[in-house]
Structure 1
Amino acid sequence: MWRSLASNMLTILVVVLFLLGGVILWGQSQYTSEGPLESAICLRVPSGSNMTKVSRNLQEQGAISSGPLFRIGVRYSEKTDQLKAGSYLVPAGASMDAIVEQITRGGASSCGTEIVYRVGVTRVLAEVRELDPATNRFVERAEFVPGVDEVPAVYEEKKADADTRYRIALAEGVTSWQVVDSLKAMDILDGDPGTRPAEGMLAPDSYEVSPGDNRAEILAEMQERQVLRINAAWENRSDRAAVTSPEEMLILASIIEKETGVAEERRQVASVFTNRLNRGMRLQTDPTVIYGVTKGEGVLGRGLRQSELRRATPWNTYVIEGLPPTPIANPGMASLEAAVDPDQGDYLFFVADGTGGHAFAVTLEEHNRNVAKWREIEAERNSN
């Protein structure tokens, strides 16, 4: 009898262990497999929250099938105490495992409200925008010029929200004075920017910032990125380059940056200046004349006068030989690369073609015809 009872108990234990193993395997499968969420959501995890609150929120929004199973998985993976506050874009079908990884890894929030300070060539613009999870596109809430326009109420409202993200978007071709002046107008930043960085030494890029960040430290990061780009471009220079040092490359790249906003044209423009330098011809480029007038401090806001084209300044390439002594703006990576890897060809001239690009020419006769066409386009536009 005892043997029979022991045998039955052992059988029951095996069955229980088998069922328990099956439950565990099912739970693991549920935890790691595709979730029930049909369309993306923005999950906000406020400061001081916990996994229980998060799991309830996720279950209410249909992102997970079981709050208790979610919490068990979190405990099993030993991430209960690793929850990070923020706003997270949870994609459709995200597994519990993937969601846990998102909200415990932290870093920059991936949805919610973003305030972007766009430092452009003509102005700085602050944008308040919010990501629509359904379309994964940002919806603009407000925009204004800091220090000039009235500050929108939504800007002040979102500044008070701890989950709001901030970014500085530095356009290619801005001057160092413009960057420093723009940072001064950004009221979320602290500290004196210090000495203005040398022209050309700030990398046009996107920079994640936070309220209270120091202006001088942000400028230091911009300089560090530009040094890396300068070194990389110079290391990969071609034997067609006319410049003989990283400093000359930076100067030429800044001129290329100011001459064209068409990415596909940069190496063509670079070839024109390279051919001119190799032949001992003056560069004769208007942006250098403008820099001689403004020193990069603001926008000229009008056409160049004949007296300015003739005036001798260190940057006036209608007057001086070769390159000017300093860059005239902060060039991006594409212009740095173009400066040391120009297109092959014999172009010596270019002029605007009315489409936003340029018409290139080998001979002065051909160039003069292109100039005449451009003047016709200008005259027609001015008459309308």
Structure 2
Amino acid sequence: MSEQNNQKPHLLKKFLIALGILLLLLLAFTGFNYYFKYYGPNVTDNQEYLYIHTGSNFNDVLKTIENEGIVKDTTSFMQVAYSMKYENRVKPGKYRLYKGMGNKKFIRMLFLGEQEPVDLAFHSSSRLRLKSQFAGYVAKKIEPDSASLLALLDSTSYLTKYGFTPDNVYTMFLPNTYKMFWNTSAEKFFNRMNEEYQKFWTPERKEKAKAAGLTPIQVSILASIVDAEALHDDEMPTIAGLYLNRLNRGMKLEADPTIIFALQDFTIRRVLNKYLTFNSPYNTYLNVGLPPGPIMMPSVNAVNAVLNYKKHNYIYMCAKEDFSGYHNFATNMADHLVNARKFQQALNQRNIKR
């Protein structure tokens, strides 16, 4: 009888030990499961960025993550997202992904909208002569498509509030590198560019423009021609002075790059006489004064060259026959014809016909 009584506490002790071990295992499993679900590596390296478009909801985000294989375990991602109440806090943007990132860190980044800004860099370039080219380029960097950007570039009513027209709005965009978020709307993009434009046109620059007899917009239009003519920045002030001399004398600018722009044929290397009669407001061989808008995005150097133009008596110029990119300048037609003949002969020798 006493033996049976002694076995009962012994069995109870074994049971309690076994139960304790089981509880520890369950706690360990729960802890491991929690850790793995929240902190374990889940983000893959299948994509460099997650793009969440404006207006997206949680289901849209989840679908993108599934379709692009952004996480290894979609179920755990979804469970953690719900536990963190992310489903009602979706923020659009461009989010950088890091291989091995855990669900909690990943969702926290999305929850707080900690997106990576983009570098929107555009510079004076023949590749962005047209507004359509510019809209297409910008659309590759931020969320709005090229059609929505181009619609604003061509909207007279929209551009009026900024003081521009569809013809001259290109002067508002100053070549530089700008940081902004990928989900910046087309309207906010324009606002930002106008803010940068206003910062650039300081009272000092405006005063210089006025002294040259130009508005800031006219300075940029002339600068676009100067930029198209000049291969070397150190020659820009001289070229700017030449065109200002012609404007002040009421002479036509007769700038070859405006002919190329009017024809929209940027393969032309030699402007022939037959091109000079092409009917266009951008044809400065037919029309007196500046064209209605820029023929390319002018560089800041070109704008400053117009503001700080070199004073001289030149009214003619022609590219040097050595193809150095520099020009021969002249104060009279006789000297200009000599310079032009030398360059034409050099073109013929190189068999450049157009």
Q: What TM-score do you get using the length of structure 2 for normalisation?
A: 0.54
Q: Deviations over 1:116-147 (max 9, x none)?
A: xxxxxxxxxxxxxxxxxxxxxxxxxxxxxxxx
Q: Does 1:189 align with 2:146?
A: no
Structure-2 separation of matches of 1:323 and 1:248: 8
Q: Does 1:374 align with 2:326?
A: no
Kindly indicate whether the alpha-carbon contact (under 8 Å) linking 1:254 and 1:335 is maintained by their aligned counterparts in 2. Answer: yes
376 and 257 in structure 1: CA distance in 2 versus 1, 3 angstrom threshold: same
Structure-1 separation of matches of 2:178 and 2:288: 37
Aligned match of 1:356: 325
Q: Does 1:337 align with 2:304?
A: yes
185 and 359 in structure 1: CA distance in 2 versus 1, 3 angstrom threshold: same
247 and 166 in structure 1: CA distance in 2 versus 1, 3 angstrom threshold: closer
Q: Deviations over 1:210-232 (max 9, x none)?
A: 44444543343233322332445
Q: Deviations over 1:159-209 (max 9, x none)?
A: 7559987423211254433211212244x6345425116131111111224
318 and 351 in structure 1: CA distance in 2 versus 1, 3 angstrom threshold: same
Structure-2 separation of matches of 1:277 and 1:180: 32
- Tell me which amino acid in the other structure corresponds to 1:222: M
- Tell me which amino acid in the other structure corresponds to 2:281: P
Kindly indicate whether the alpha-carbon contact (under 8 Å) linking 2:260 and 2:268 is maintained by their aligned counterparts in 1. Answer: no
Aligned match of 2:247: 277
Q: Does 1:302 align with 2:290?
A: no
Q: 2:279 aligns to what SS in structure 1?
A: coil
| Structure (1 or 2) with the larger CA radius of gyration | 2
Aligned match of 2:313: 346
245 and 209 in structure 1: CA distance in 2 versus 1, 3 angstrom threshold: closer
Structure-2 separation of matches of 1:292 and 1:371: 23
Deviation beyond 6 Å, 4+ runs, structure 1: 162-165
318 and 336 in structure 1: CA distance in 2 versus 1, 3 angstrom threshold: same
Aligned match of 2:295: 328
Query: 1:275 offset after TM fit, Å?
Result: 1.0
Q: Does 1:169 align with 2:124?
A: no
Query: 1:238 offset after TM fit, Å?
Result: 7.0
Number of residue pairs matched by the alignment = 223
Kindly indicate whether the alpha-carbon contact (under 8 Å) linking 1:240 and 1:341 is maintained by their aligned counterparts in 2. Answer: no
Structure-1 separation of matches of 2:235 and 2:260: 21
- Percent identity of equivalent pairs: 25
Aligned match of 1:151: none
Matches within 5 A, 1:29-68: none
255 and 362 in structure 1: CA distance in 2 versus 1, 3 angstrom threshold: same
312 and 230 in structure 1: CA distance in 2 versus 1, 3 angstrom threshold: farther
357 and 350 in structure 1: CA distance in 2 versus 1, 3 angstrom threshold: same
Q: Deviations over 1:98-129 (max 9, x none)?
A: xxxxxxxxxxxxxxx9xxxxxxxxxxxxxxxx
Q: 2:351 aligns to what SS in structure 1?
A: helix
Q: Does 1:217 align with 2:169?
A: no
Match of 1:202 among 173, 176, 181: 173
Aligned match of 2:135: 180
- Note the aligned Cα RMSD (angstroms): 3.3
Q: 1:372 aligns to what SS in structure 2?
A: helix
Q: Deviations over 1:68-107 (max 9, x none)?
A: xxxxxxxxxxxxxxxxxxxxxxxxxxxxxxxxxxxxxxxx
Aligned match of 2:238: 268
319 and 166 in structure 1: CA distance in 2 versus 1, 3 angstrom threshold: same
Q: What TM-score do you get using the length of structure 1 for normalisation?
A: 0.50
Structure-2 separation of matches of 1:377 and 1:164: 52
Structure-2 separation of matches of 1:239 and 1:219: 26
- Tell me which amino acid in the other structure corresponds to 2:331: V
Structure-1 separation of matches of 2:350 and 2:96: 43
307 and 258 in structure 1: CA distance in 2 versus 1, 3 angstrom threshold: same
Structure-1 separation of matches of 2:346 and 2:272: 20
Structure number with higher helix proportion: 2
322 and 358 in structure 1: CA distance in 2 versus 1, 3 angstrom threshold: same
Query: 1:318 offset after TM fit, Å?
Result: 0.4
Kindly indicate whether the alpha-carbon contact (under 8 Å) linking 1:350 and 1:361 is maintained by their aligned counterparts in 2. Answer: yes
Structure-2 separation of matches of 1:311 and 1:209: 41
Unaligned runs of 5+ residues in structure 2 are 1-37, 40-47, 49-94, 100-114, 154-165
Q: 1:320 aligns to what SS in structure 2?
A: coil
Unaligned runs of 5+ residues in structure 1 are 1-47, 50-112, 114-157
Structure-2 separation of matches of 1:257 and 1:161: 43
Query: 1:240 offset after TM fit, Å?
Result: 6.1
Kindly indicate whether the alpha-carbon contact (under 8 Å) linking 1:284 and 1:318 is maintained by their aligned counterparts in 2. Answer: yes
